[in-house]
Structure 1
Amino acid sequence: MNQRVIKPLVLILIIAMFGFFGYSLVTKGKHTDVGDKAFNFELPNYDGGTTKLTDYKGKVVILNYFASWCKPCKDEFPELAAYQKDYGGKYPLLMINRGETIDRIKKVTNDNKEGMVYLFDYNAKVSKQYNVTGQPETFVIDKQGIIREHYNGPVTEMQIYNWIKKYDK
């Protein structure tokens, strides 16, 4: 390529980068992170009602962001189902989906035979508050409502159990 083409391309690239960074700064909202008070939310649930984080006040709560089309999410599902069976009654696991319909999740979960608590973050408002960038992502919220863990990637039943032991005080 000659210099007549390269210079304008570099200039366009630089302008685009500054535009992207400027847009990111302007649209950056407040979000929570490890050590912060968990954002209280109310989301539609699998049964057609709504569920609030405050419904689980005083308990260690696990939030897991997932998508039905996500391969790592599918791979981790048996671990989450085992966790739900063994510990879900005492330490709630809230499965949060972004952008998919209840009917879609009912279809892929075989009508929720595991008894999971599925919530639907259709507009991604809650996931933005928790700074979710993909899936699967898992959060541990302690009894005082403080985010103690934020893990990107698939988790195992034992990982979650070890977190619970650590924060169930």
Structure 2
Amino acid sequence: MNQRVIKSLVMILIVAMFGFFGYSIVTKGEHTDVGDQAYNFELPNIDGGTTKLSDYKGKVVILNYFATWCKPCKDEFPELAAFQKDYGDKYPLLMINRGETIDKVNKVTKNNHEGMNYLFDYNAKVSKRFNVTGQPETFVIDKKGVIREHYNGAVTEMQLYNWVKKYED
């Protein structure tokens, strides 16, 4: 390569780095993750009402981001349904879908409705606050509202149970 092309590439790289760091600084306060107080959202639910995270104050809560087209999400549905059946009364499981319709979720999850709390983050505002990058992603929030776990990928009933037990006290 000639010197001119190399200098241009280096200049583009430097500008991109400054842009990335500038964006990171500007948006830093808008993201939460492990150790941070969870963002208190209010989202539409599958029953036509709304659900707030604060509705579960004083409980260990699980948030699970999913999509109906996501193969790992579909694979984990039976594990999540089992957790909901066995422990959902004590440890609420909130299933959050971003960008899909209630009809679509109803169609795909028809065998997994028993007691499941499906919420809809249509504009991805809440998922951005939680710094969700894909599906499935799972968060465990302790009784004081602090995010304690953030896991990318499919989970099992036993993983969820082990996490929530750590934050029971």
Q: TM-score, normalised by structure 2?
A: 0.87
8 Å Cα contact 2:65/2:135 also seen in 1? yes
Cα RMSD of the aligned pairs, angstroms, is 2.0
Aligned to 2:105: 105
What 5-or-longer segments of structure 2 have no aligned partner?
none
Task: Give the deviation of 1:14 after TM superposition.
Answer: 4.8
Residue 161, structure 1, aligned to residue 137, structure 2:
no
8 Å Cα contact 1:60/1:142 also seen in 2? yes
Give a deviation string over 1:35-81, Cα, whole Å, max 9, x none.
Answer: 22211110000011100011111111110011111111111111101
Aligned to 1:74: 74
Q: What is the SS of the residue equivalent to 2:110?
A: coil
Following the alignment from structure 1 to structure 2, what is the Cα–Cα distance between the partners of residues 5 and 19?
Answer: 21
Following the alignment from structure 1 to structure 2, what is the Cα–Cα distance between the partners of residues 156 and 111?
Answer: 18
Following the alignment from structure 1 to structure 2, what is the Cα–Cα distance between the partners of residues 158 and 96?
Answer: 20
Following the alignment from structure 2 to structure 1, what is the Cα–Cα distance between the partners of residues 27 and 146?
Answer: 25
8 Å Cα contact 2:139/2:150 also seen in 1? yes
8 Å Cα contact 1:66/1:135 also seen in 2? yes
Q: What is the SS of the residue equivalent to 1:39?
A: coil
- 1:116 maps to a residue whose letter is M
**Bigger Cα displacement from structure 2, 115-124 vs 2-11:** 2-11
Correspondence list, 1:1-169, <5 A: 8=8, 11-12=11-12, 14-110=14-110, 112-169=112-169
Q: What is the SS of the residue equivalent to 1:58?
A: coil
What 5-or-longer segments of structure 1 have no aligned partner?
none
Following the alignment from structure 2 to structure 1, what is the Cα–Cα distance between the partners of residues 22 and 35?
Answer: 28
**Bigger Cα displacement from structure 2, 46-55 vs 12-21:** 12-21
Aligned residues: 169
Following the alignment from structure 1 to structure 2, what is the Cα–Cα distance between the partners of residues 4 and 56?
Answer: 60
Task: Give the deviation of 1:30 after TM superposition.
Answer: 2.2
Following the alignment from structure 1 to structure 2, what is the Cα–Cα distance between the partners of residues 90 and 9?
Answer: 56
With over 3 angstroms needed to count, the CA separation of the structure-2 counterparts of 1:125 and 1:165, relative to structure 1, is same
Q: What is the SS of the residue equivalent to 2:82?
A: helix
Q: What is the SS of the residue equivalent to 1:55?
A: helix
Q: What is the SS of the residue equivalent to 1:168?
A: coil
8 Å Cα contact 1:62/1:93 also seen in 2? yes
Following the alignment from structure 2 to structure 1, what is the Cα–Cα distance between the partners of residues 79 and 13?
Answer: 44
8 Å Cα contact 2:77/2:112 also seen in 1? no
Q: TM-score, normalised by structure 1?
A: 0.87
Task: Give the deviation of 1:27 after TM superposition.
Answer: 4.3
Identity, in percent, stands at 83
- 2:110 maps to a residue whose letter is N
